[in-house]
Structure 1
Amino acid sequence: MKTITKLLILFVLLTGATAFAQKKPLLYGIMLDENHHPIEGVNIYYADIEGTVRTTTNENGFYQIQLPADRQVVVWFEHISFKLSRIEITMGAGDTYEFSSLMLNNVEQMGSLIINAETGSKRVEGVISISPETIRNIPGAMPGVENIIKIIGGNSNNELSSQYAVRGGNYDENLVYVNDIEIYRPFLIRSGQQEGLSFTNTSMVENVDFSAGGFQSKYGDKLSSVLNITYRKPEKNAIQADASFLGAAVTVEGISKNKKWSGIIGGRYRNNSLLVNSKETQTNYKPTFVDVQTLLNYNPNQKWEFSFLGNISQNKYHYQPLTRQTNFGTIDDPVALQIFYDGREKDEYRTYFGAVTSKYKVSDNFDLKFIGSVYHTQEQEYFDILAQYALGEVDTNLGSDTYGDIQFARGVGSQLNHARNDLDALIVNAEVKGYHDIKKNLVEWGIKYTREDFRDRLLEWEVIDSAGFSLNAPILDLPVNNQPYTPYTGPLVPYQNVRALNFVTINRVQGYAQWSRRMVVGDSVQLYMNAGARVHQWQVSGDNLESKSQVVISPRAQFAIKPKWKKDMVFRLSGGLYYQPPFYRELRDSLGQVNPDVKAQRSIHIVAANDYSFTVNNKRFKLVSEAYYKKLDDVNTYTLENVRIRYRANNDAVAYAYGLDMRLNGEFVPGTESWLSFGYMKTEENINDRGYIARPTDQRLKFGILFQDYVPTIPSLKMYLNLVYNTGLPGGSPSYADSYQYQSRLNDYRRADAGFSYVIVDAQKKDKVSATWLKPFEELSIGLEIFNLFDNQNAITNTWVRDVYTKSQYGIPNYLTSRVFSLKLYAKI
């Protein structure tokens, strides 16, 4: 471990840090004709104070041209066979921007692009930017922003969940913002198939930024990552809709005649029955996931901006399992678990969210922003499910009438699970932020107050009967039930019994201040520096709780450099001290009791990165490599079952995580962006000085591909591929078991989702449309999606079953979805 730490520190010292692009802004791209073929000889030029600056496209349609910084220029695109077109563009020093377009022979194209300093700074801040078009097109069982994040920055072995883990952290360690407003998730969800819709409505997204570690002080107090989403402000009236066998969505947007008012509203419906009914458990499954989301904007003058973001969602999850058979073991010793169910589960999650933001321009160099938000969730989890099982050898005789059934039972038993869990939570935030631009120095600060009120009732128990004899909870000091060999005289108690009633209030005060500066040293060596700190004070109080107050301070910094090399490289070093003050679920132990003394988990981040932009066959690519190391103290250990996390709430461990992430993105096919990612990671924890073992999120290798293509002879026919390979996660352990004795892993996760679409109408085809009914459409496409293309069996957790004869426990894998086909329709008016 010490050797690895030294190597990482040496790597950091040798590679330096970060910076930004070239001194002069660079505009580049590929010009295509209506058939998506490259156009050679397009004249590209703009007028400068020293004369006209020109370039032309090569045989592959590629061009690049340097522009003046921080002022608007008109760039013209001219060819004898096509209509003259232009764009108005403003770029900051050091920025690069790709502008690829189709040239038409009957329409003049005009547009305006503003590329400000913020766009160029993402490279030096270590932020990944993802286009909304890529997010919308890439197929997945849970489509949306999180579907992409799982590939390029996070890890997940559960396609039914929108949650993800980043660099050894768990699902509770990720910050999510929409328009600078922090977003929360429901609390009682224990299975990915219960989640329904993520908060983010993809149809409303304008920009997505993601940082996997070493992020700045302006972001909140979590240990792993930041996902920062910006919703767009409408510039015209439009309607877009999509529908598939899994659900539907409609988004309406508009703007007033005086341009002061604009708004966008979207409604979504989701039903995962098609996916879940493909699983090995036969069920009656009736889920409905519905939400309505809106963003309203008002700009009365150049000084003020106002906006309102609202969301109402209702997830109903009704589940009635019938039967299940899982075959496992070996060819020589095939074993099966057969279960017959009785009972049902009825869960409901209703959330209401509203936020008001106001931005005031005090002067040209000083902006203020005010944010107020309210989040209210009402959740219930009710179930009574009796499972009667048999574990035994399978009949493998092909001619037998009982082929595939259990022939000899090694163990039989039953399991009864009961729950009546209710949670009501209200979270209120008030925040003010300031932005000062002082002579090439950017100073940012903010103060935030949060009040969290939780009303929580936990009532759940489990009774296990094995071979006709009730099993006692192993954590209780009771005599062992060893029937029929010896009589049992002790009391009959549940194997698990969680009963708690919690009324908890948490008050938080947070503040941050940070400074950033960009400079040029010598001829063209460019530097970027950022330093700041956060302070977080919180107080936990409630019925029958002793009030507890704690304070943490979190310093963070980033440094970047772009040397004067022919190769376009940026080096970045970032890190600091990161704390995660406990949220309500982290205060609650495995028995449901709240411990107000839980400390903030602490992590030291060191991230060293290299950002390399290059050209191959006149196609632009970017390769980003990041080596990271995290040392964690006061770790709040937990067990992970599907997506439910149960903390021990006692800060009883230390841990570490280190690894390497590499991402390559670019236009492998002209006009489309694709991504390749590779990651290696190792994370372990030491609980009560018993030695290091794998953490529940210890996923050693990951590999992902997001690929887009089209048929050259039929450019309207497009293909999208989402390919994931992850090594297996730790398989967990039975309830109350010692995790040190259960360190086996699940099988590797392998999944491919493919999408095919035929574009009927788009911007290039619109003027050629002859059918009258197609005239109103700006975009129209129809497609086919194939989920789990190769029908791989992926497991998310184990079901632990006791063999009464060998006294051992079998980990029976709980498999996820199999191959599913779905049609999809997309339209925009």
Structure 2
Amino acid sequence: MKTKQFIVAFVLFCIGFLAKAQTARIKGIILDKNNNPVEGVNINYQDKGTTTNVNGFYALTIPANQKITLVFTHVSLKKATLKLELKTNEDYEYNFQMSDSEDLLGEVIVTAGNRKRVEGITTIEPAVIRTIPGANAGVENILKSLPGVNSNNELSTQYSVRGGNYDENLVYVNEIEIYRPFLIRSGQQEGLSFTNTDMVQNVDFSAGGFQAKYGDKLSSVLDITYRIPTRYAAALEASFLGGSLTVEGVSKNQKWANITGVRYRDNSLLVNSQETQSNFRPTFTDVQTYLTFTPNTKWQFGFLGNISQNNYNFEPLTRQTNFGTIDEPIALQIFYEGQEKDQYQTLFGAFKTSYNINDNNTLKFIGSVYHTQEQEYFDIFAAYFLGEVDSNIGSETFGDVRFNRGIGTQLNHGRNDLDALIINTEVKGFHKLGENTVEWGIKYTKEDIRDRLVEWEVIDSAGFSINPPRDFPVNDQPYNPYVGPLVPFQSVRATNFTTIDRFSGYAQWSRKSNLGSSEVWYNAGVRMHQWQVSGDDLDGKSQLVFSPRAQFAIKPKWKKDMVFRASGGLYHQPPFYRELRGFDGQVRPNVKAQQSIHFVLGNDFSFKMWDRPFKLVSELYYKDLSDVNTYTLDNVRIRYIADNEAEAYVYGFDMRLNGEFVPGTESWFSFGYLKTEENYQDRGFIARPTDQRLKFGVLFQDYVPNIPSLKMYLNLVYNTGLPGGSPSYADPYDYQLRLRDYRRADVGFQYVLTEKNELRPDGHWLKRFKDLSVGLEIFNLFNNQNAITNTWVRDVYTKTQYGVPNYMTTRVFNLKLTARL
């Protein structure tokens, strides 16, 4: 009986909690004409009101779904009024300048937030991206804290989404597709992401079930918009990992605007924390510019340009890794000779123009050219000693190798060159027809790729050459004489001149209406993609695929603010150059598009807790894949079999709770579970290389109440181990070893020198800055040993192979200076 009473009371409590009045919240910062925060501004609606603090910040809860008038008053500035209408639980930011004359600020009706909710899009604020610490800080660093997004490599900006690999993610900047490097094989070679964080205005991300307008990939869409400046500003950042300078401005007539950023990156601080001691001399630099011209209200022209130069010089010296057990500790000692010299030069230019025929019709033209020249040269000789470690605590040689029981050598050689030119032209249309919206686009792409691949590896164990793992007789000298050929352990040689012509297009329809008392949204569309591969000794056939997709969302007229979503459809990924090239380096022109059927069910629940906004988003998904092109994953390098002879599936559940756990800041907790398996040539289902079962992520912001200038940022990720513990050459049906779990915590402390600038006298040197702060970042706070791959060595005496972990970075400290004008 008591149990029933408790359940009834709990249910009534929950109903009462969710049955609060429908409200929304407006917040922002009020500045004077000199862009200084204004303290003591009274914001009132009827008998409710609030006052700005010393930073000019205000927040006020108001009724939702009705037009209200806010009044802003100050003792020394003129009154301002604002009419607005917000949706239930809408959290709207409104910043403005109070002037000496009375202002009518206009009318605001917020609807954009609902559009992204019904589409299942996650929006990330640029301020969060700039402040959250990470070994590769930026947009991708934040994505890795979201559910369904996984990465076990802090040195890389690459990420996998819901069982897909790095090649299955779409990235757009100002609606222009961005490409990832071709020859990159390890995260430490990457340097810089394309996206310049200081130039970003908006970031939208979808982890699956996206609309037809977003392109031909299987996993995710990252849609980034660079901002158009409205005034002069500058941003500077400097740290032990490099620096950046961004300058923006606008012409006097407000028609021309430009934002330009220069960045420099040096990974030495991180790479030198690894076990391999080396002479490491990298330089990663790039320059980006976004120029816009708006002659009138109908036309707008834009140019996005990027030049990047990566020089990666790596000379390994020594390495010692201790592994094994407490009873039987083992050490791997490696002594290196040789070096690696890589160069990556990229030139990118894109032109975009928009023509607003009227309020309901818009046309866009986009053209882009992407040219990359990549070089990967290496000759590295490694001599390894596998020895027993002295585990006697009282011994003078405690921790040293006392006996070598395995000796071997390895020589890796590479001369890889790639030159790729990709040209895109595209026309898009947007039409508003009453309650209906129609969007369409047509695109042509020309890909011209010239590639030379020369790699070989020779392994010697105790003086005897090791043969390839497949199709060669066993060499078990000295027990038996070997009469077979002497060949490299691995060898790939190929020269490819490949051209790919692509035509693609889409058309989709959207509508918002009512179903009874509920609001509903519909979206349906289809994509078409036709392509043909040609080149020297290549005669690929023309291939054509269609991808229909649909979304449905409903918002019941409940007191609790909930949106339910369902989306799905057919997704095709026509092969890019990497997917056409097999293990032997040869291009197979008739590789088919991988196909995936998506089903996604989602719920978006917005609520108030502690009188602050929170949101709980959850999604259940399933993917059925066919014509799968299986691959191996080694660090960040992907090698495809290129035969479409597999099938696969993915299912999982994602959940994220975000909100103001600390007033005025956004934090979130995320959880993801997935399972993905593939069946190659009907041999049975086994785990795919991206089978990341569990993922937990925390992004948290805080400040010291008594010292608000001192802020703290925490980025924490936990991932279960990937099935990458086997040798890359091994048959995955024979070896399904997993790497250890990935655990990492990055924390940042920032002291904002300009926190109370409004209290300083005019002429003070800090008044020149909009923001000036110094910070300390600690990467891998708990010094966890995370492994990215295993090195496999052989013990000639026991005939045993040992998988020795290749550890990532250890704990690293970084100082950072940030200044904004």
- Pick aligned residue for 1:470 from 456, 462, 465: 465
Q: Which residue of 2 aligns with 1:791?
A: 783
Which range is displaced more, 146-155 or 499-508? Answer: 146-155
Alignment of structure 1 residues 401-416 onto 2, 5 Å:
401-416=396-411
Alignment of structure 1 residues 40-439 onto 2, 5 Å:
43-45=43-45, 55-56=48-49, 63-66=60-63, 75-78=70-73, 86=80, 88=82, 96-99=90-93, 117-153=111-147, 154-439=149-434
Q: 1:185: Cα distance to partner?
A: 1.3
Alignment of structure 1 residues 462-611 onto 2, 5 Å:
462-476=457-471, 478-522=472-516, 524-611=517-604
Distance 1:420 1:568, change over 3 A: same
TM-score by length of 1: 0.91
Decide whether the 8 Å contact of 1:440 with 1:517 is kept in 2. yes
Q: Describe the SS at the equivalent of 1:774.
A: helix
Spell out, residue by residue over 1:105-155, the C-alpha distance to the aligned partner (whole angstroms, 9 max, x if none): 999999889666444300100000010000000000000000011111410
Q: 1:160: Cα distance to partner?
A: 0.4
Decide whether the 8 Å contact of 1:766 with 1:778 is kept in 2. no
Q: 1:402: Cα distance to partner?
A: 3.4
TM-score by length of 2: 0.92
Report the AA paired with residue 819 of structure 2: A
Q: Describe the SS at the equivalent of 2:768.
A: coil
Decide whether the 8 Å contact of 1:640 with 1:732 is kept in 2. no
Decide whether the 8 Å contact of 1:25 with 1:91 is kept in 2. no
Spell out, residue by residue over 1:756-777, the C-alpha distance to the aligned partner (whole angstroms, 9 max, x if none): 1111115x62452566322321
Residues 1:674 and 2:667 are matched in the alignment: yes
Distance 1:336 1:297 in 2: 59
Distance 2:29 2:298 in 1: 39
Report the AA paired with residue 65 of structure 1: I
Report the AA paired with residue 547 of structure 2: S
Q: Describe the SS at the equivalent of 1:686.
A: strand
Q: 1:178: Cα distance to partner?
A: 0.4
Q: Describe the SS at the equivalent of 2:616.
A: strand
What residue ranges of structure 2 are gaps of 5+ in the alignment?
1-19, 32-38
Q: 1:689: Cα distance to partner?
A: 1.2
Distance 1:369 1:417 in 2: 50
- Pick aligned residue for 1:447 from 442, 457, 469: 442
Distance 1:90 1:496, change over 3 A: farther
Distance 1:608 1:68 in 2: 27
Decide whether the 8 Å contact of 2:511 with 2:522 is kept in 1. yes
Cα RMSD of the aligned pairs, angstroms, is 2.8
Q: Which residue of 2 aligns with 1:9?
A: none
Q: Which residue of 2 aligns with 1:49?
A: none
Distance 2:194 2:271 in 1: 21
Report the AA paired with residue 816 of structure 1: M
Report the AA paired with residue 317 of structure 1: Y
Q: 1:486: Cα distance to partner?
A: 1.2
Distance 2:693 2:591 in 1: 30
Distance 1:29 1:541, change over 3 A: same
Q: 1:687: Cα distance to partner?
A: 1.3
Distance 1:23 1:670, change over 3 A: closer
Distance 2:98 2:707 in 1: 18
Distance 1:358 1:114, change over 3 A: farther
Which range is displaced more, 668-677 or 418-427? Answer: 668-677
Distance 1:788 1:174, change over 3 A: same
- Pick aligned residue for 1:819 from 801, 811, 815: 811
Q: Describe the SS at the equivalent of 1:577.
A: strand
Report the AA paired with residue 488 of structure 2: P
Decide whether the 8 Å contact of 1:761 with 1:769 is kept in 2. no
Decide whether the 8 Å contact of 1:165 with 1:697 is kept in 2. yes
Spell out, residue by residue over 1:279-333, the C-alpha distance to the aligned partner (whole angstroms, 9 max, x if none): 1110100010000000000011111110000000011110000000111111111
Decide whether the 8 Å contact of 2:634 with 2:728 is kept in 1. no
Report the AA paired with residue 675 of structure 1: W
Spell out, residue by residue over 1:639-696, the C-alpha distance to the aligned partner (whole angstroms, 9 max, x if none): 0010000001111211111111001111111111111111111111111111111111
What residue ranges of structure 1 are gaps of 5+ in the alignment?
1-21, 34-38, 46-52
Report the AA paired with residue 190 of structure 2: E
Report the AA paired with residue 805 of structure 1: Y
Q: 1:59: Cα distance to partner?
A: 14
Decide whether the 8 Å contact of 2:21 with 2:559 is kept in 1. no
Q: Describe the SS at the equivalent of 1:151.
A: coil
Distance 1:636 1:462 in 2: 25
Q: Which residue of 2 aligns with 1:800?
A: 792
Decide whether the 8 Å contact of 1:374 with 1:428 is kept in 2. yes
Report the AA paired with residue 28 of structure 1: I
Distance 1:345 1:691, change over 3 A: same
Alignment of structure 1 residues 579-658 onto 2, 5 Å:
579-658=572-651
Q: Describe the SS at the equivalent of 1:651.
A: coil
Residues 1:28 and 2:22 are matched in the alignment: no
Distance 1:443 1:565 in 2: 30
Q: Which residue of 2 aligns with 1:460?
A: 455
Distance 2:424 2:204 in 1: 23
Distance 2:773 2:748 in 1: 12
Report the AA paired with residue 288 of structure 2: Q
Report the AA paired with residue 753 of structure 2: I
Distance 1:115 1:549, change over 3 A: farther
Q: Describe the SS at the equivalent of 2:346.
A: strand
Distance 1:379 1:74, change over 3 A: farther
Report the AA paired with residue 485 of structure 1: Y
Spell out, residue by residue over 1:452-485, the C-alpha distance to the aligned partner (whole angstroms, 9 max, x if none): 0000000010000011000111234x33212101
Alignment of structure 1 residues 710-729 onto 2, 5 Å:
710-729=703-722
Residues 1:775 and 2:767 are matched in the alignment: yes
Distance 1:374 1:340, change over 3 A: same
Spell out, residue by residue over 1:319-357, the C-alpha distance to the aligned partner (whole angstroms, 9 max, x if none): 000000111111111111110000000001000000000
Distance 1:276 1:193 in 2: 7
